[in-house]
A and B are shown apart, each in its own frame.
Chain A
Amino acid sequence: MHPAVSVIFFTVMSGAGFGLIALIGLGMPLPGGLAAAFFIPALAGGLAIAGLVSSTFHLGHPERAWRALSQWRSSWLSREGVMAIVTLVLFGLYTLVWMLGGERILWLGLPVALCAVVTVYTTAMIYAQLKTVPQWHTGLTPACYLVFSLTCGLVLAAGLDGFRSAGPGAAGIAFAAILIAWAFKLAWWARAARSSLDAAGSTMETATGLGAIGAVRLLERPHTGENYLTREMVHVIGRKHAVKLRLIALCVGALVPLLIALAVWFLAASALWLIPAFVALMAGLFVERWLFFAEAEHAVSLYYGGRNA
């Protein structure tokens, strides 16, 4: 699949934003005071909104994006739009109460957290629902999106808590969260390796219905040039460097933040060090998300020569 920059940016940034919103709502310890009550929600909402705005850049008609809120009964993409808005409105109210009252109210925060988690789930289901992309079509896809979202939120919240010179205890939790998140991703990668179109039962023979006669090979494409389908869904560049890119994602997104978290934890350093860990985690996730799209095989590639397309 074509790795559109706007969609990669959207899933990573909004994922982190909604993750932070969820952890704020759950009552994760954070600095007090009016400045914190303003800047921390602004950061969380900013990440989420930056991602959402970016996602409209890949639309052919961004000015009609509001129409996407109408089909929540049947469409995961529509549900995602609705849930994002519901979450942000509730979070806005929660923030207002926090700023005015100076305290975070748990019973207001819990529904915010729940909505944030559901929003990330709906984002993941946009991809996981597609039977045409067997590597995505698994419950592990929303699991990965959720653990990464919450981990990003957790690491960032723990880092921000460093401003009130909190102890290093949160670093231990951040360490565990990063480890668990990447364990999910490794499981996803392991499953993806077994989930080719072939393994899902789709071959050039089933695509053409000619399997009863013999083995099928593409002799000629419909046109000599590329087209929307080949550019969008028969994208093969990603698979060439997949192994190297996975190592980069793991080094930058897992190893670096894990080492930082470990150092903070054992050296009882300032939790502020978790902010660079968060930046590394996000950088790794951009690579991971690029691969999520670039490596995915779409059924339509079978009409364009299959794996040799």
Chain B
Amino acid sequence: MTSLPSSTDKALGLVIDLDTCVGCHACVVSCKEWNTGGYGAPLGDLDPYGAEPVGAFLNRIHTFEVSPDDAPASIVHFPKSCLHCADAPCVTVCPTGASYKRSEDGIVLVDEDMCIGCGLCAWACPYGAREMDPVENVMKKCTLCVDRIYNENIPEIDREPACVRTCPAGARHFGDFSDPESDVSRLVAERGGMDLMPEMGTAPVNKYLPPRPKTRPNAAAPAASQGEPAPDGFLGWLDRALERLG
């Protein structure tokens, strides 16, 4: 049923820390690896070693440059995957009922056996979270590793999304946003977690933590502007002696 649940028992999702992400793409690789062997059809590739390789990914890292008015530009690596929106437009447009949002944990999933591959859900998503599999011709999207997080056949430490488990920088966090005391909820509260494109009215569950303010050299000790301090001792004598030589 492609109507959205009026509320979900849990709101599982990710916090992505843009301050910590180093842009290594390890989460992209581990996502692709896990989801090629896990839930649903494998994540297909066409022409992988040829001139124009193309493939489905559930997680991609963009890299942006952000330029403050009064400071040098900085680089922000920007991982992007499904935000498991509370008001997910991709779900309601689906003509077959293949797209749905689970009422128990809020995960947005695609039943690939029902998907006709019309692509309308990908058009409805402002974030580019859905990609058509080039081999299976069904819509693929982040499952929040639904086949890991509840999987009692793997060690408990691994029961989180592959991207979170693999991130070497600790830039990705997984948890329940409906619990205000959860780690993810506290991170969002402490660090000012934000929604992407709030104007689209999608109410995303995933939150992004903005980069912490950079230290600004000119705001710290005004060393540079006053020139080098005059040396004393032997170096001071040498400096003065060499000056006298002209």
Instruction: Using CB atoms and an 8 Å cutoff, list the residues of chain A in contact with chain B.
Output: 1, 58-62, 64-65, 67-71, 73-78, 81, 126, 129-133, 200-202, 204, 206-210, 212-223, 225-229, 232-233, 298-300, 303-304
Closest residue of chain B to A200, judged by CB?
B199
Decide if B54 touches A226 in the complex (CB within 8 Å).
yes
**A131 neighbours in B (Cβ, 8 Å):** 89, 126, 200-201
Segment touching A, from B94-102, B182-190, B217-225: B94-102
Within 8 A of A (CB), among B53-83: 53-57, 60-69, 71, 73-76, 78, 80
Segment touching A, from B6-14, B111-119, B142-150: B111-119
Instruction: Check: B134 CB closer than 8 A to any chain A CB.
Output: yes
Closest residue of chain B to A220, judged by CB?
B63
Decide if A202 touches B65 in the complex (CB within 8 Å).
no
Decide if B96 touches A67 in the complex (CB within 8 Å).
yes
Decide if B62 touches A210 in the complex (CB within 8 Å).
no
Given contacts A75-B92, A228-B56, A229-B128, contact A298 B115 (CB under 8 A): no
**A209 neighbours in B (Cβ, 8 Å):** 194-196, 208, 210
**A226 neighbours in B (Cβ, 8 Å):** 52, 54
Given contacts A204-B64, A210-B64, contact A59 B122 (CB under 8 A): no
Within 8 A of A (CB), among B148-198: 194-198
* Binary A-proximity of B210-231 (CB < 8 A = 1, otherwise 0): 1100000000000000000000
CB pairs A–B below 8 angstroms (7 shown): A60-B116, A67-B95, A73-B3, A77-B120, A132-B200, A216-B67, A233-B123
CA distance A202 to B201 in the complex (A): 12
Closest residue of chain A to B69, judged by CB?
A214
State how many angstroms separate the Cβ of A85 from the closest Cβ of chain B.
13
Given contacts A68-B96, A74-B3, A228-B54, contact A59 B118 (CB under 8 A): yes
Identify which of A60, A67, A126 contacts B97 (C-beta below 8 A).
A67
Closest residue of chain A to B201, judged by CB?
A131
Decide if B122 touches A130 in the complex (CB within 8 Å).
no
Decide if B54 touches A68 in the complex (CB within 8 Å).
no
Instruction: Check: B203 CB closer than 8 A to any chain A CB.
Output: no
Given contacts A232-B122, A300-B127, contact A68 B3 (CB under 8 A): no
Instruction: Check: B21 CB closer than 8 A to any chain A CB.
Output: no
* Binary A-proximity of B22-62 (CB < 8 A = 1, otherwise 0): 00000010000000000000000000000011111100111
**Apart from A75-B2, A220-B63, what 9 extra A-B contacts exist at CB < 8 Å?**
A59-B117, A60-B119, A62-B116, A76-B93, A77-B120, A131-B89, A208-B76, A228-B54, A303-B62
